[in-house]
Structure 1
Amino acid sequence: MLHETDFFFSDFDGTMSSKEFYEYFIDGAHKPHYELLLEQVQQNQLTSFGFMQKLFSAINISAHTYDRYIAQFPLYHAVQDVVSLVEKKGGTFSVISAGSCSYIRPILERHNLGHLPIFANPGRFHKGNLYLDPPTKREYRCSYYGISKEAVLRDQIPTDALCIYAGDGSSDFRAASCADIRFARSSLARRLSAAGLSYYPFESYDHIYTVLQKEI
Structure 2
Amino acid sequence: MPDAVLVSDFDGTMTADDFYRLVATRLLPPEALAPWDEYRAGRMTHFQALKTIFSRIRAPEEDVLAVVADMGLDPGLAASLDKLRRGGFEVVVASAGCDWYIRRLLAGAGVTLEVHANPGTYRPGGPLVMDAPPASPLTCPETGVDKAAVVRDAASRASVVAFAGDGFADLPAALLVPRERRFARADLAQALAARGETFRTFSVWSDIADMLLAGEART
TM-score, L = length of structure 1: 0.87
Task: Tell me the residue number matched to 1:25.
Answer: 23
Distance 2:58 2:76 in 1: 33
Superposition RMSD in Å: 2.2
CA distance in 2, matches of 1:166, 1:42: 21
The CA distance in 2 between the partners of 1:184 and 1:158, in whole Å, is 23
Distance in 2 (CA, whole Å) between partners of 1:182 and 1:83 is: 18
Q: CA contact under 8 A between 1:8 and 1:86: conserved in structure 2?
A: no
Inter-CA distance 160–20: structure 2 relative to 1 (3 Å threshold): closer
Are residues 1:112 and 2:110 paired? yes
Which residue of the partner structure matches residue 121 of structure 2?
124
Query: Who is 2:166 aligned against?
Result: 168
**Matched AA of 1:186:** A
Change in Cα spacing, 1:214 to 1:5, as seen in structure 2 (3 Å) is closer
Residue 159 of structure 1 and its aligned partner are, at CA, apart by 6.0
Structure 1, unmatched stretches of 5+, are none
Residue 62 (structure 1) aligned to one of 60, 85, 94: 60
CA deviations over 1:37-59 (Å, ceiling 9, x no partner): 23433443222211100110110
Identity %: 29
How far off its partner does 1:92 sit? 0.8
Out of 146-155 and 32-41, give the one that drifted further.
32-41
Following the alignment from structure 2 to structure 1, what is the Cα–Cα distance between the partners of residues 54 and 203? 27
Which residue is equivalent to 2:185?
Answer: 185
Unaligned runs of 5+ in 2: none
Q: Counterparts of 2:198 and 2:129 in 1: how far apart (Å)? A: 37
Match of 2:149 in 1: 151
Asked whether the 8 Å contact 1:16–1:75 carries over to 2, the reply is yes
Residue in 2 that maps onto 1:74: 72
Native 8 Å contact 2:192 2:198 kept in 1? yes
Displacement of 1:208? 2.0
Deviations 1:4-57 (CA, angstroms, capped at 9, x unpaired): 242011111111111111123223661334143234334432222111001101
